[in-house]
Each structure stands twice: as structure tokens, then as C-alpha cells.
Structure 1
């Protein structure tokens, strides 16, 4: 891309180390970079655009607390199934969730583990071990995204505990929303990617035109020891009663969501 004349690169890193190398190569050729969706630790991006990932974690923590309260669980055990340990976003999600849940001493945190590469199959194995080690005595699970949540739901189903409904998620995938409609997952966090993409486009245009971009603050890069000018957007908590909002926003279609056994729930919620 640099050879072909790109003047701005938007990067979603797979890991910070390789992302930083790309940014270093780009900088050497006079190409500016933008971190998109996740921050490149130790990098050199001019801007960072993403959702406020700590706030996403807080929404998940608040969601799990609401789920437990709505189910009448006034005390119990909770577990954390976090995203990949080399993904800075996963660290931020976990930090935000802990900020909410740590003060809630009525809930005992009995297990926590990161899932390498967000691998759903490995997540199922990890959660099954958590569940077994705690004698099936887990009332809530802070799962970092809908894929990990589905892995938890599969294990709960194998143990005749499906429908506990105290499982969080993120990304508002069709599968995650269907799990919510079925009562197997309590909530997810919807992140309108149209807003994120538009913010990226505006930042890129400003860099190309040599204009100072409008940002909402800065984010600390501890490895690079710098503050990165940032545009941080806000996610939306989705429970069963507002699943329709995701369809109305054209993120998921009714055709892919309201299949088979989920059609009745869609009718009930006015999703069409």
C-alpha cells in the first residue's frame, strides 16, 4: 500500500508488536497512520478511533449485575471469561467490568481466565474446567463477547443449566441476539460500526488535508509513554426488550435473526 502511494494507513492490529512495526515502516516513508478499533501499544499512530472500551466493560459489568438482580440472585458466584491476553481491548473490557463488579461483595469472583486468540473452542474448554472446579456453582458469567458467551451457553446446556440467562456478551451478533431471544444470554453490547467507520474517514481526510482533527480526548499508551489523540464512541447495552434497536439500525437483518424457533420472539418484540 505504501509503495502504491497511500498517504494514510488505518490499522487494526492483530497484536501490538507487529502493528508497531508496520507503523514504524510507514513513518519512515512519510505515511501517517491511524489506530482503528484497538490501540497499538508502543506504536506511532497520529490518532486512535474506537469505542470507549473501558466503558464497554462497565456496560457488561452493569449488565451482569442487572441480570442477577432481575433473576433474584442476591448473592452468588461469578466468573470472568476474558478476551485474548495480547489484545489491548480485552484488557480494557476486563478493567471496566471489574470497576463495576469488584465493589459488589455480594458476588464472589471464583474464576477468571483470558482466552487466547478469542478462540471459542478453547473458551468452551476453559469454562468447562471453571464450572467443574467450582462444583457447577456459578450463577453469572462475564463473557467478553458473544462468541465466548455462546461457548459458555453450550457448556451450561451440556450440564442441564441452559437458560440461566446470567451471561453477558458483546458485538450484537445474530447468534448472540438469538441467544438473548432464547433466554440463554442476558445481554450484549452493540457498537454501531457505521459511526466508527465515519469517524475514521473524517480523521483520515483531516490528515490528508493537513487539518487538525476534532478528537474527544486522549488515551494513554503505557508502552510508548505517550498520550494518543482519540475519538472514543459509546456502546449500547442490548437486553431482550431492545433487541429490535439493532435490527432497526440495519446491523443485523430480521431475516437472519428471526429464523425457525426465534420467529415467535421476533413477532412478540415487533421485529420484522
Structure 2
């Protein structure tokens, strides 16, 4: 379970020692808060507050991030609270206010949009609370640190993945639809920057044909299905779908299946969710991008624990905030392309289990894939 997946950078290995073993403890979906038992370490350190964004944009927030963060905080013996804003900006602001009032000394958050995130960080700074941007950078914000993946690189992997899948299909001048993430999420902007850097030259030289291109508000999968159905109605010859994550990919696959096109039109994804991996095994999705959330959570937890203990941690790099015009000290991890040929690496890394992916209806396909 503790095998490290091939291709994942070891950058944080020096700066951030592993805080916990591979086991994790999970609380249920939705809002939750927990505090470790009092200990000498707890009394010396401050309290950490974490606000995660929602439970609908990706399954990872409840199945991976929350339990991994909990494991790290418990291992360090620090007090902590983890809550989920459920996609509600007002709720996130209320949670932040409550955490600050309760005495957290470090606030880690995954913003819903940069405007509301900036307001929360300004309030935290006024109260002497340190802040960490987790997974999404708050543009114009004041976070002391940012922990995420190289999100332009994520997009490049998606773009190249779709190109490779289309080549395998052998379609001449295929029409490509782009189903982008939320326009309020800076990560979605970076993903698109990445995949468009791969696709645009091919649009320009006529190798590919640019089709419908639309963002999905708040990464809402239901809206994504409606949007893609409209795309397919307007352009029935769509031959490839650049979907920005597995949830959007699933929405597109459902519409393709409704039109008996699933498996015939390559679809991309991201997050290596169980559902996305199942679609890859079934042949309905051509690739996803695996981001080792365990490494991300451990790096962020290590920063939070240091800050809560009064230490000033150092990080390996920085990322420019174009709106705030400042370089934010950052930990940026390396993503990995996952296709049917290397799904076993995600399982070996302990992110998902074979039993989760290889459900009864996929037994034959899993055997053929070597799972």
C-alpha cells in the first residue's frame, strides 16, 4: 500500500517528512469537525482549521483529503477542525468566522472563488491567523503558502492524452469539444491553459477541428450533462471530449451512452476517481490524471503543524499570483497520466483498491487489463 507511484516527484521528501502511515481515518461526508485528545504537543501548539470546498465537484474531498489530513494531524497530536462548505460561499465564510472565533491559529482552505477566499484571508490576517491555500490558489489573496499540483502540467497531460486517444481511433480531422471546469476556479483556468497549449497548434494546422468550448459553473456535473447534450445536438460529429475532470467526463459519457456513442468517442478526465477508473477499464474513458493526494495532504499538514507550533517552514518553490502580483511560497507536485495500461499503479499506490474498481460487471475487462 505504501509503494510510491512511478513518476511522482519526490520534491517534498526532504522538506516535508511523512507524518503518518498509509492508514487513514475518515469521517462521513458533509460538514464535520474533530479534535485530537489533549497532549503535551497539543498544549504547546495552536489549533488548525481546515475548510474543504464541497462534496459534488469531486469525490476526493471526502474520500481522500479529509481522512488523510485527519491522520496527519492526529499523528502530530495537534488540535484541529475540518469542515466542508458544501459549495456555499456564505457557509464557507461562516465556518471561517467560527473557526477564527474559536481560536484557530492556522486556517487552511480550498476556496470556492478568489473573491470570497480573499475576504476570508484578510479577516484571518487581521486576527493574526496564518493561512494556507490548499489545492486552489486564491488570486489576490494573502496566504502564506500554497500547496497543490502543477496544474498547467495537469492540463498538458489531458491534452496530450486526448490527442493520443484520437490517433488510436484513426479519425481524420476529428472535432474536439472542450468541457471546462468552473470559471471561478483558478485551477480550471490553469488546466485549460495546459490543454489548449497542446490542442491549439493542432487546431491551427488542421489536424484537429475545434468544436464547442464551454465552462461548467461550479464544476456541477448535472449542468455538465445538460451542456454537453446541447453541444452534441449542435455538433453531432464530435469525435473527442476534453473533459476537465472525471465528474465532467462521466456527465459526457452518460450523454454519449444515451446516443450509443460511448466507447466510440474518447473522453478525458482527472482525479483518478473510482468512477473514472471504471470508465477507463470499460473503454468509455480514454485517460485520467492521477494526483497523489496523499503527498499533497501530507505537505499541507506539515506546513500547518509547523505554523501552529510557531515555526516558519521553508518550501521548495513559489508560484506567482498574477492578480496580487506576488510570489507565493509553494509546494507543487507532479501529476501522472493514467490509462488502461497503468491503472494498476494507482491501485498499488493505495489510492483506490482493486475491489473498488473491479466490480462484478467489469470482471472480464479487469482481467484483460491485468488487474
Q: Which interval holds the TM-score relative to the shorter structure?
A: over 0.9
* SS of equivalent to 1:90: helix
Q: Shift of the alpha carbon at 1:28? A: 0.7
* 2:118 is the counterpart of 1:20: yes
Displacement after TM superposition at 1:58 (Å): 0.5
| TM-score, L = length of structure 2 | 0.70
Q: Identify the residue that residue 38 of structure 1 maps to in structure 2.
A: 136
Aligned match of 2:273: 173
SS at match of 2:100: coil
The TM-score normalised by the length of structure 1 is 0.95
CA displacement at 1:66 relative to structure 2: 0.7
Segments of 5+ residues of structure 1 without an aligned counterpart are none
Paired residues of 1:68 and 1:74 also in contact (CA < 8 A):
no
Alpha-carbon contact 2:241-2:265 (below 8 Å) kept: no
Report the secondary structure of 1:184's partner residue. coil
**1:111 lines up with 2:212 in the alignment:** yes
- Aligned counterpart for 1:182 among listed residues 278, 282, 287: 282
Q: CA deviation at 1:73?
A: 2.7
User: Unpaired runs of 5+ in structure 2?
Assistant: 1-98
Pairwise mapping of residues 188-203 of structure 1 onto structure 2 (< 5 A)? 188-203=288-303
Task: Give the whole-Å Cα distance in 2 for the aligned partners of 1:165 and 1:245.
Answer: 25
User: Secondary structure of the equivalent of 2:212?
Assistant: strand
Name the SS of the counterpart of 2:101 in structure 1. coil
Is 1:251 matched with 2:351? yes
Distance in 2 between residues matched to 1:74 and 1:242, nearest whole Å: 28
Q: Deviations over 1:132-151 (max 9, x none)?
A: 111x1111110001111111
Q: Is the 8 A contact 2:178 2:214 kept in 1?
A: yes
What are the superposed Cα offsets for residues 20-41 of structure 1, whole Å, 9 maximum, x if unpaired?
1111111011111000000011
- Which residue is equivalent to 1:70? 168
Question: Paired residue for 1:215?
Answer: 315
Match of 2:10 in 1: none
**Contact 2:239–2:265 (CA under 8 A) maintained in structure 1:** no
Residue 333 of structure 2 corresponds to residue 233 of structure 1: yes
CA RMSD of aligned residues (A): 1.4
Deviation at 1:207, TM superposition (A): 2.7
Q: State how far apart, in whole Å, the 1-side matches of 2:201 and 2:310 are.
A: 46
- Equivalent position of 2:226 in the other structure: 125
What is the number of residues matched between the two proteins? 270
Deviation at 1:167, TM superposition (A): 0.7
Whole-angstrom distance in 2 between the partners of 1:174 and 1:140: 22
How big is the shift at 1:165?
4.5
Flag as ranges the 4+ runs of structure 1 deviating above 6 A: none
Aligned to 2:148: 50
Q: Is residue 158 of structure 2 the alignment partner of residue 60 of structure 1?
A: yes
User: Counterpart of 1:79?
Assistant: 177
Kept in 2, the 8 Å contact 1:165–1:183? The answer is no
CA distance in 2, matches of 1:63, 1:184: 14
Deviation of the 1:86 alpha carbon: 0.6
SS at 2:188 equivalent = helix
Deviations 1:176-215 (A, max 9, x none): 1111111110000011100001111222233345544332
Do structure 1's residue 205 and structure 2's residue 322 form an aligned pair?
A: no
| SS at 1:218 equivalent | strand
Partners of 1:234 and 1:3 in 2: CA distance: 36
